Amino acid sequence: MAKYRIGLGVTGGIAAYKAVEVLRLLQKADCDVSVAMTRHATEFVQPLTFRALTDKHVIVDDYDPENPDPIAHINFSQEIDLLLIVPATANIIGKFANGVADDFLSSTYLATTAMVMVAPAMNTTMWEQPATQRNVTQLKADGVYFVEPVAGELACKTVGTGKLEDVENIVRQALALVGELGSRGVGETNTHDLRSEHFLITVGGTREAIDPVRFISNHSSGKMGFAVAEAAATRGAKVTVVAGVTTVEPPANVNVIRAVSAEDMHTAVKGEIANATVFVGAAAVADYAPANAADAKIKKDGRDVMTLELKKTPDILSEVSKNRRDGMLVVGFAAETNDVVGYARSKIEKKGLDLVVANDITKAGAGFNTDTNIATILTRSGGEIELPLMSKREMADRILDEIVRLRKG
């Protein structure tokens, strides 16, 4: 059995001939490749070339009487792990970004739940056009992967960015993409199984000002929350992150809104929650903030002891849960040092959660600022899944698997 099933989409540019080499390299890597071409692509390379190499019908037009499958765009789109477009013209990028489905390939894009990777190639001016860049930004936000074009001499004899990346690099990136998730089993998480979800995720720590110089905070780096955000976007979800103070960069494929204090985070979440179908509270939000932050630096004035009056911050997670719309899932985290599962389970009740991820922050390799974590996932219905030491990215996928299971009911 082939390792991965790839749908290779070829569109009408001079680099279309390089798709033949991509096909050969994918086949060498033990992939089962099916080819679809746009009508313009057939002006550059004959479908017969791909047909001879794949021993399969090459689909250009759903309505072609010679097409053996009457609903080809549905079947083709469901039987692949990755839709790879090489080369991608500005036209197909525009169609994908705007949901236009007026030919086989663009209909396939709309119909697929597979991951999508696009390798553009075009004249520099076309690539740099604001319209093209807008469409590229939109597709990235939609979870589409790009193998960016490179600089070099173009077919139009100009020099600039727009040249198709080396075919070896395209194939390497495509295999890395399916391989990364494929290690979990083709057809299991290799799909955009969160495509219809919009995640709103709080990430990182908050800073509560004492005065303009000092603050109360915690050790959260943002690694766990960003890992969940990246994994959800990779699996096709639209993702908005409200990030407090973090020590790592956010993933490229998500929208990020910055917040500093618990109050800021609360305001940002209220502004975004209307669009969310899943809320994940991964942030370590300060439970208390100074009741009256000083406007000027507080002087020591010989005092050995200083008392700070603290007031409770808004409990963002509880509030989201209390006001949730029908069908919205609410997921919390719990960072505990003792009776981890007991305290976490009580949070399910107190905060009205569907699921809580409990980490014992006293364990080596778990909790704050580590690349790994150890946790127990608890569900409202009494489910308990122990997750041993693993990378936060891997754990993010395990959490998302449970969210998918809850959604299926």
Find the binder of ligand PMT among 25, 36, 285, 374 (CB under 6 A): 285
264 is a site residue for ligand PMT (CB under 6 A):
no
Angle 255-284-203 (CA atoms, 0-180°, nearest 5)? 10
321 is a site residue for ligand PMT (CB under 6 A):
no
Residue 170 or 224 having the CB closest to ligand PMT:
224
Residues 212-251 contacting ligand PMT, CB under 6 A: 220-225
369 is a site residue for ligand PMT (CB under 6 A):
yes
Residue 271 CB, nearest approach to ligand PMT (Å): 15
**Total of residues contacting ligand PMT (CB under 6 A):** 27
Q: Helix, strand or coil for residue 259? A: coil
In order of 217, 264, 272, 306, 329, the CA distances from 198 in angstroms are: 29, 21, 10, 45, 11
Residue from 156, 186, 248, 341 carrying the catalytic annotation: 156
Q: Residue 156 catalytic?
A: yes
Residue 215 or 333 having the CB closest to ligand PMT:
333
Q: Helix, strand or coil for residue 20? A: helix
User: Which of the 8 DSSP states describes residue 363?
Assistant: S
282 is a site residue for ligand PMT (CB under 6 A):
yes
Residue 381 CB, nearest approach to ligand PMT (Å): 19
Reference 362, options 378, 343, 339, 342; nearest CA is 339
Residue 79 CB, nearest approach to ligand PMT (Å): 38
Q: Helix, strand or coil for residue 87? A: strand
315 is a site residue for ligand PMT (CB under 6 A):
yes
The Cα 255–Cα 109 span in angstroms is 23
Single out the segment in contact with ligand PMT by CB under 6 A; choices: 157-165, 293-301, 313-321, 401-409. 313-321
Residue 174 or 374 having the CB closest to ligand PMT:
374
Residue 145 CB, nearest approach to ligand PMT (Å): 25
Q: Say if CB 313 and CB 287 are below 8 A apart.
A: yes
Residues 375-394 contacting ligand PMT, CB under 6 A: none
Residue 78 or 369 having the CB closest to ligand PMT:
369
Amino acid (one-letter) located at 106: S
Q: Which residue is nearest to ligand PMT (CB)?
A: 281
DSSP alpha helix (H) spans, 142-254:
167-182, 223-234
DSSP for 105-131, written as a single string: HHHHHHH--BEEEEEE---HHHHHSHH
359 is a site residue for ligand PMT (CB under 6 A):
yes
Phi, psi of 244, deg, nearest 5 = -80, -140
Residues 176-215 contacting ligand PMT, CB under 6 A: 202
Residue 233 CB, nearest approach to ligand PMT (Å): 17
Residue 306 CB, nearest approach to ligand PMT (Å): 24
281 is a site residue for ligand PMT (CB under 6 A):
yes
Q: Which residues contact 63 (CB under 8 A, 6 or more apart)?
A: none
Burial class (CB in 10 A: 0-12, 13-18, 19+), 73: buried
Chain center to CA of 31: 24
By CB under 6 A, name the binding residues for ligand PMT.
Answer: 202, 220-225, 262, 281-285, 287, 313, 315-317, 332-335, 347, 359, 367-369
Q: List, by residue number, the catalytic residues.
A: 156
